[in-house]
């Protein structure tokens, strides 16, 4: 008893011992037994959503999951896990059950949705994923004509056979084809915006293994020291990227746009850095009946809006920087000034005419489908909300405002 | 422990953190839901009220340079009023502590901790916050001063990175004046914490011209909040309501930063630092108020009371974010009466009484 | 006339010294006067005794008295002493001389020790700059300091501490620079020490500070005279202890650990860069393992996918939990470090081979530890020695943060950092905050803070130290 009293006296005299003891006991016991979270969660890098055949409600989820392997060579092994359920969240639960781990969405890069979902409001299926805070809204959204699970298997095959990653393809598309990103965020921004329109990237799958993005025919294994990956994929389909997009309104696909259509629309959207303009049968001092191809280095648009007699007018100044990259002429002689730095006035006029016609075609696409991808509504509303509201009220169909806006396009061509 | 004084820069940095910390997490999204982009004006209106409080503080400090607020209240309004006022102030800070813990617990649990419960957060937060509350005010002021450059750099990084990702414009002029005022009233809970200046009135060294420094830092904080709100609204425009955690979301647009992956963990670290410092100052204010109400009881009693009640309430009250926001919008705005009505009322009474006294003389 | 019985006196003194082996005595008769000498032969200079003391007296022909003896003795340090001081003087290496014809006594200091020459101290190597270091002899140390201050401003005050050892302590400061309050407080603290003995300057440290139980160093120490001189010029007080090459300086600020003597003998831009590197090293050492373990246990979502794959693959086969694994590796490193300190140099190579190859490489191949963990701990342990003076503190804190990170994750690490900073801010000695000039932020002092400006720009002494006179140069 006296000894206990002595110990208590020491402890109260120097509480640091008590505190240290408490800290080590509490924190030590928590930390000694805690296992790494990596071993409790399945690391998913891509999600696919498909409709189940012969079923109205059922959904099939495919998860491209990383499978850790105890080895020293640091190769990546992926597996596509499929699960069905009445809803996306249920299907993901079942997927987790089959993996024996919880599903973690923190590393998801792409979300693949079968095109069937875009025949109706696709946002209904994405609802679960949007509410999960771990899934970044900067996750790329891809629409595909094949099954999403097959797409993921093709992605897995692509990863295993080459160093081309699906992320690189999507990034390329974002930068050079869409001039914007096709992500969950942009999809919802379009959906909840005044135009209710959005663009979603489209990547097809090809049955023919000679087409699409392939590298070598052998089923190579990853080597130590490289970040190659092992594959257990059975897919014979390959990814075929042709720069397509789907134009959606209220989450539903309105039109399938090819890369040429995108180029036309991109002139109106803002800046972009890919594309070319071709002039046929051109003649001037240098060329005679030539087919000239100009590469677009950069393009900018400056939109100025105003209201005249309650009708909105958009003056669009489009600056395009071009460079001659190809001249096809039957009897082409080698000229000194073949790079055509100082373009003739005729060439400039021809280019301006061509750009104007391209932009008009792009505008027609948007008008036909009542999709204000270029967000003219916001510009007009912010300029004069009352005038805009009056204008909308004056229309029979408020959503058809794009057809009643006057666009005055003034292209300016510059040589880069 | 008897607190030593802090200089005006340290007080100003504390003010910066108090003005800033509450407003960068859930508030921008809530203001957008209520008043669209005009939610910025809701913030500015409430900020003006806070500037009013700061002005009152400077005025009081000039008139009574060596007095503490409790001494003033005691002399001018009596002991009973002193106890009532300080009980209300203690209650104010206690509720704020619960609210901050609630919101940040849900934030951390959603984003960075998945499988951890209340216990983990409590054993981590409570000891540090308790230590900050009992440590000398000067040490606390210096700590905050040392963390200020880190906070500033992270903020600057967040703001600059977020502005890079801006694509479109949001719609302006969608809400009217009544929407703005109603939204302001609904969210006054997030404001009014600057009354901590009154509680530490006698501990702040004040020289002529120091008021400008306080205003400068307050305006600086306000500018940063506005920049974050703007970045948030311009980044997300119509989908702002879908993103409850503004400071986290504005960094979420960056996919892969230099091979380091997602950089929104930087925002999480900022919120962690701010949570500790903010809870520390609130608990210090609570301890001080408790000591004024029960002068014979030491700080240990204040902390024991706080920890006991806090632990009970935390286990009862922690719910999801939506419920917390509902409580915050429906019940807690009345709390701001303590800061925006009670304190100014006290100061006005001091003025009137002083004038009367002068008149009699 | 006989005033003092010389033989009896010598016997008494020898008895007081317990007839120690090294007590020597001589008696010489000069005329009618007996002169007695008593001293410790172990540390007096026998040559000087013979030539300067004994011979002049023994060869004197005439009437010998006390004043004559004073003139005959050809030594510098001669003083008249009282009865009570006899033993002290003998024990300090003096020869005590007394006459039968006088009650007065004389002490002649002819102390001689075997001491080493001032060489470069192993704790503070420099690439450029002075290489002298203090030794165990306080007189040599005082000499090294004196030759750097050819001015009367350098004040040296002598104190004695230790009931048994009676160690000489010298307080040094610049009279026109230092704050008198600091000097008074240092003197007061040293005088209040009631201890058996002082073997090294480290013994004094706990008595000089307000919080002796703290983990953190609150007194500066160095073996280099140029560093002590620089600190004196900044307004600090130096404390030299006999038999210790380590000189203490107060007040102390944590910034001193980031500064290195090399910084002042090289380009200022490079020196500033090096200070940042040291700071980063400190952060890596303190927080590296803690953050790694926190990310692994709680926040795997923060890690980019490539790193995650590396960690996931390499930790699959490890039988331990991550915390035990890191703890095991840290302990291994610590054991290796302790062994390398104590082993003779010819066994050092064998230890390195055992440590690096067998424990490191084989441990990974056997699947007991994972490569990422080894790398993280290795980097942390190496980074520890960017500031070797704080290695003890950082090692302890490393374990602390490891424990916190493993149990509560990033929130705990941030909280621990805040607690650490708040605690450091609460440390204050001699009216100087521990984290000055960062906290409180003193702009002028930051010219020699994390960034070092040119020496010509450092026109004022640091304001952190309450100096009397802040001006260094025009």
Interval C285-312: pLDDT, tens: 999 999 999 999 988 888 888 888 888 8
pLDDT of residue B360: 47
**What number of C-beta contacts closer than 8 Å exist between A and C?**
92
Which one of C212, C307, C309 makes the best mutation probe of the A interface by having the most chain A beta carbons within 10 Å? C309
From chain C, pick out residues whose CB is under 8 angstroms from the CB of A79: none
DSSP 8-class letter at C148: T
Q: Say if residue C249 is exposed, middle or buried (CB neighbours under 10 Å; 0-12, 13-18, 19+).
A: buried
Mean pLDDT taken over chain C? 88
pLDDT bracket for residue C125 (50, 70, 90)? confident
Where along chain B do its domains lie?
8-360
Which one of A34, A41, A226 makes the best mutation probe of the C interface by having the most chain C beta carbons within 10 Å? A34
C-alpha angle B273/B224/B245, rounded to 5°? 60
Distance from the B359 Cα atom to the nearest Cα atom in chain C, whole angstroms: 45
Residue of B nearest to C419 (CA): B128
Using one digit for the tens of pLDDT, what is the confidence trace for C156-204? Answer: 999 999 998 889 999 999 999 999 999 999 999 999 999 999 999 999 9
The β-bridge partners of C255 are none
Q: What is the mean pLDDT of residues A389-396?
A: 90
Q: List the one residue out of C26, B172, C204, B125 whose CA is nearest residue A382.
A: B172
DSSP letters for A32-81: HHPPPGGGTEEEEEEEEEEEPTT-SS-EEEEEEEE-----SS--EEEEEE
The chains in contact with chain C, meaning 3 or more Cβ pairs closer than 8 Å, are A, B
pLDDT of residue A74: 57
pTM: 0.88
The β-bridge partners of A300 are A319
B213 contact C CB<8A:
no
pLDDT at C345 over 80: no
Q: What is the mean pLDDT of residues A334-362?
A: 79
Residue of C nearest to A30 (CA): C407
Mean pLDDT taken over chain A? 82
pLDDT of residue C433: 92
Q: Which residue has the higher pLDDT, B259 or A230?
A: B259
Distance from the A413 Cα atom to the nearest Cα atom in chain B, whole angstroms: 25
pLDDT of residue A171: 85
CATH 3.30.300.210, chain A: domain bounds: 259-415
A381 contact B CB<8A:
yes
pLDDT at A132 over 50: yes
From chain A, pick out residues whose CB is under 8 angstroms from the CB of B254: 138
Cross-chain CB nearest to B252 (options A30, A137, A381): A137
pLDDT of residue A231: 42
Q: So what's the ipTM on this one?
A: 0.93
CB contact under 8 Å between C297 and A14, yes or no, is no
pLDDT of residue B243: 85
What are the structure tokens assigned to A204, written together?
Answer: 């097809």
DSSP 8-class letter at B258: T
CB contact under 8 Å between C316 and A72, yes or no, is no
Q: Which residues contact A381 (CB under 8 A, 6 or more apart)?
A: A194, A388, B171, B172, B173
Give dist(CA B91, CA B294) in Å, integer: 14
From chain C, pick out residues whose CB is under 8 angstroms from the CB of B269: 410, 414
Residue of C nearest to A105 (CA): C301
What is the number of other CB atoms lying within 10 angstroms of the CB of residue A36? 22
Distance from the B247 Cα atom to the nearest Cα atom in chain C, whole angstroms: 16
pLDDT bracket for residue B333 (50, 70, 90)? confident
From chain C, pick out residues whose CB is under 8 angstroms from the CB of B7: 440
Using one digit for the tens of pLDDT, what is the confidence trace for A257-309? Answer: 888 888 888 888 876 667 788 888 888 877 888 888 888 888 888 889 999 88
Q: What is the mean pLDDT of residues B91-116?
A: 87
Cross-chain CB nearest to C297 (options A16, A34, A76): A34
Give dist(CA C357, CA A192) in Å, integer: 62
pLDDT of residue B167: 72
The chains in contact with chain B, meaning 3 or more Cβ pairs closer than 8 Å, are A, C
Given CATH 3.40.1390.20, say whether it is the number of domain B8-360: no
Q: If contacts are CB pairs under 8 Å, which of residues 36-65 in chain A contact chain B?
A: 37, 40-41
Give dist(CA C440, CA A339) in Å, integer: 66
pLDDT of residue C417: 95
B265 contact C CB<8A:
yes
Cross-chain CB nearest to B121 (options C411, C421, C435): C411
Q: Give residue for tokens 């790193």.
A: C307
For residues C250 and C208, is the Cβ–Cβ distance under 8 A? yes
pLDDT at B146 over 70: yes
From chain A, pick out residues whose CB is under 8 angstroms from the CB of C300: 36-38, 41, 43, 104, 106
What are the structure tokens assigned to C187, written together?
Answer: 């003197």
User: Which of A313-322, A356-365, C74-83 bottoms out in mean pLDDT, i.e. has the lowest?
Assistant: C74-83
Q: List the one residue out of A328, A228, A242 whose CA is nearest residue A287.
A: A328
Cross-chain CB nearest to B252 (options A37, A138, A385): A138
From chain A, pick out residues whose CB is under 8 angstroms from the CB of C323: 31-32, 34
pLDDT bracket for residue A339 (50, 70, 90)? low
Using one digit for the tens of pLDDT, what is the confidence trace for B176-203? Answer: 889 898 888 888 888 888 899 999 999 9
Task: Mark out chain C residues that contact chain A at CB-CB < 8 A.
Answer: 213, 293, 296-301, 305-306, 308-317, 321-324, 367, 371, 403-404, 406-408
Q: What is the mean pLDDT of residues C373-387?
A: 91
For residues A216 and A263, is the Cβ–Cβ distance under 8 A? no
A189 contact B CB<8A:
yes
Mean pLDDT taken over chain B? 87
pLDDT of residue A218: 37
Which one of C314, C323, C396, C404 makes the best mutation probe of the A interface by having the most chain A beta carbons within 10 Å? C323
Task: Please tell me the CATH code under which domain A259-415 is placed.
Answer: 3.30.300.210
What are the structure tokens assigned to B95, written together?
Answer: 């509720």
Instruction: Provide the percentage of residues in chain C whose pLDDT is more than 70.
Output: 99
pLDDT of residue A216: 38
DSSP letters for C327-381: HHHHHHHHHHHHHHHHS-HHHHHHHHHIIIIIIIIIHHHTTSS-HHHHHHHHHHH
């Amino acid at each position: 008893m006296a000894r206990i009293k002595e110990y208590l006296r020491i402890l109260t005299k120097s509480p640091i011992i008590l505190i240290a003891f408490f800290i080590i006991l509490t924190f030590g016991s928590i930390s000694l037994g805690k296992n790494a979270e990596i071993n409790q969660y399945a690391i998913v890098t891509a999600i696919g959503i498909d409709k189940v055949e012969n079923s109205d409600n059922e959904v099939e989820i495919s998860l491209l999951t990383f499978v850790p392997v105890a080895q020293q060579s640091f190769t990546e092994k992926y597996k596509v896990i499929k699960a069905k359920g009445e809803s996306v969240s249920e299907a993901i639960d079942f997927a987790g059950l089959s993996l024996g781990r919880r599903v973690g969405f923190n590393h998801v890069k792409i979300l693949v949705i079968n095109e069937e979902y875009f025949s109706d409001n696709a946002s209904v299926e994405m609802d679960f994923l949007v509410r999960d805070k771990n899934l970044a809204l900067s996750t790329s959204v891809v629409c595909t004509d094949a099954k999403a699970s097959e797409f993921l298997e093709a992605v897995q095959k692509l990863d295993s056979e080459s160093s081309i990653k699906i992320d690189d393809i999507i990034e390329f598309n974002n930068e050079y084809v869409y001039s914007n990103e096709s992500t969950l965020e942009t999809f919802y921004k379009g959906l909840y915006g005044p135009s209710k329109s959005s663009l979603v990237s489209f990547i097809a799958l090809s049955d023919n293994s000679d087409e699409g993005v392939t590298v070598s025919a052998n089923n190579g294994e990853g080597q130590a020291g490289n970040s190659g990956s092992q594959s257990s994929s059975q897919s014979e389909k390959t990814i075929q990227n042709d720069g397509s997009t789907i134009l959606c309104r209220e989450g539903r696909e309105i039109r399938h746009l090819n890369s040429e259509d995108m180029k036309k629309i991109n002139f109106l959207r803002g800046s972009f850095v890919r594309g070319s303009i071709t002039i046929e049968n051109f003649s001037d001092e240098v060329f005679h009946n030539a087919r000239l191809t100009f590469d677009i280095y950069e393009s900018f648009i400056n939109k100025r809006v105003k209201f005249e007699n309650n009708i909105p007018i958009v003056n669009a100044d489009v600056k395009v920087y071009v460079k001659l990259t190809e001249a096809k002429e039957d009897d082409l002689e080698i000229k000194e000034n073949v790079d055509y730095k100082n373009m003739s006035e005729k060439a400039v006029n021809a280019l301006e005419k061509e750009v104007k016609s391209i932009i008009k075609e792009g505008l027609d696409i948007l008008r036909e489908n009542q999709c204000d991808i270029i967000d003219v509504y916001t510009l007009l509303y912010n300029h004069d909300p009352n005038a805009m509201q009056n204008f909308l009220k004056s229309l029979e169909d408020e959503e058809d405002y794009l057809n009643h806006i006057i666009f005055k396009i003034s292209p300016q061509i510059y040589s880069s | 422990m008897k607190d030593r004084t802090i200089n005006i820069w340290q007080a100003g940095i504390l003010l910066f953190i108090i003005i800033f910390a509450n407003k960068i997490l859930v508030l921008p999204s809530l203001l957008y839901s209520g008043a669209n982009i005009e939610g910025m004006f809701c913030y500015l209106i409430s900020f003006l009220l806070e500037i009013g409080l700061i002005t009152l503080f400077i005025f009081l400090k000039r008139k009574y340079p060596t007095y503490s607020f409790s001494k003033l209240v005691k002399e001018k309004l009596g002991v009973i009023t002193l106890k009532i006022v300080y009980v209300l102030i203690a209650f104010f800070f206690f509720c704020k502590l619960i609210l901050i813990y609630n919101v940040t617990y849900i934030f951390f649990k959603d984003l960075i901790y998945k499988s951890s419960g209340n216990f983990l957060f409590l054993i981590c937060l409570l000891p540090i916050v308790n230590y900050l509350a009992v440590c000398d005010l000067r040490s606390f002021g210096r700590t905050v001063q040392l963390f200020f450059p880190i906070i500033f750099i992270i903020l600057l990084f967040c703001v600059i990175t977020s502005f890079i990702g801006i694509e479109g414009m949001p719609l302006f002029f969608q809400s009217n004046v009544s929407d703005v005022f109603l939204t302001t009233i609904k969210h006054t809970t997030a404001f009014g914490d600057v009354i901590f200046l009154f509680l530490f009135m006698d501990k702040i060294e004040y020289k002529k011209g120091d008021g400008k420094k306080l205003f400068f830092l307050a305006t600086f904080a306000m500018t940063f909040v506005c920049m974050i709100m703007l970045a948030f609204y311009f980044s997300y425009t119509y989908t702002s309501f879908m993103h409850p955690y503004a400071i986290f979301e504005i960094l979420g647009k960056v996919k892969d930063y230099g091979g380091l992956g997602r950089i929104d963990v930087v925002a999480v670290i900022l919120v962690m630092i701010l949570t500790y410092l903010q809870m520390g100052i609130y608990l210090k204010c609570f301890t001080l108020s408790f000591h004024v109400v029960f002068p014979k009881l030491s700080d240990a009693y204040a902390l024991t009371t706080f920890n006991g009640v806090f632990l009970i309430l935390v286990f009862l009250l922690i719910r999801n974010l939506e419920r917390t926001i509902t409580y915050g919008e429906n019940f807690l705005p009345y709390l701001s009466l303590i800061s925006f009505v009670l304190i100014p009322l006290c100061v006005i009474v001091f003025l009137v009484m002083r004038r009367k006294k002068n008149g009699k003389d | 006339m006989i005033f003092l019985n010389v033989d009896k006196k010598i016997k008494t003194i020898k008895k007081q010294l317990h007839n120690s082996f090294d007590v020597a005595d001589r008696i010489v008769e000069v005329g009618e006067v007996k002169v007695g000498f008593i001293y410790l032969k172990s540390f007096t200079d026998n040559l000087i005794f013979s030539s300067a003391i004994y011979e002049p007296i023994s060869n004197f022909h005439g009437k010998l008295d006390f004043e004559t003896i004073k003139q005959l003795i050809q030594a510098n340090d001669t003083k008249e002493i009282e009865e009570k001081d006899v033993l002290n003087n003998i024990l300090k290496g003096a020869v005590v001389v007394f006459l039968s014809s006088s009650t007065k006594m004389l002490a002649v200091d002819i102390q001689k020790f075997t001491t080493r020459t001032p060489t470069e101290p192993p704790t503070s190597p420099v690439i450029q700059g002075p290489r002298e270091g203090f030794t165990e002899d306080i007189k040599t140390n005082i000499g090294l300091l004196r030759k750097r201050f050819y001015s009367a401003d350098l004040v040296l005050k002598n104190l004695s501490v230790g009931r048994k050892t009676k160690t000489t302590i010298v307080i040094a400061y610049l009279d026109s620079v230092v704050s008198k309050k600091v000097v008074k407080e240092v003197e007061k603290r040293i005088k209040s020490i009631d201890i058996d003995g002082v073997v090294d300057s480290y013994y004094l440290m706990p008595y000089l500070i307000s919080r002796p139980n703290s983990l953190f160093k609150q007194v500066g120490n160095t073996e280099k005279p140029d560093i002590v001189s620089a600190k004196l010029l900044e307004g600090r007080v130096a404390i030299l202890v006999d038999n210790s090459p380590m000189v203490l300086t107060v007040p102390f600020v944590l910034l001193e650990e980031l500064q290195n003597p090399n910084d002042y003998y090289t380009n200022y831009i490079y020196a500033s860069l090096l200070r940042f590197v040291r700071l980063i090293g400190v952060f890596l050492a303190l927080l590296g393992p803690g953050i790694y373990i926190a990310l692994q246990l709680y926040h795997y979502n923060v890690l980019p996918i490539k790193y995650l794959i590396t960690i996931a693959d390499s930790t699959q086969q490890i039988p331990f939990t991550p915390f035990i694994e890191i703890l095991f590796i840290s302990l291994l490193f610590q054991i290796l470090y302790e062994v390398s300190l104590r082993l003779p140099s010819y066994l050092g190579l064998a230890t390195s081979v055992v440590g690096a190859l067998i424990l490191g490489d084989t441990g990974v191949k056997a699947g007991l530890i994972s490569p990422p963990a080894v790398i993280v701990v290795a980097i942390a342990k190496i980074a520890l020695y960017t500031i070797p003076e704080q290695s003890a503190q950082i090692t302890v804190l490393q374990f602390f943060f490891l424990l916190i990170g493993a149990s509560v994750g990033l929130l705990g690490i941030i909280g621990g950092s805040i607690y650490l900073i708040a605690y450091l801010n609460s440390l204050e000695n001699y009216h100087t905050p521990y984290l000055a000039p960062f906290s409180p932020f003193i702009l002028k002092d930051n010219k020699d803070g994390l960034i070092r400006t040119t020496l010509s720009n450092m026109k004022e002494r640091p304001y952190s130290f309450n100096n009397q006179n802040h001006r260094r140069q025009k």
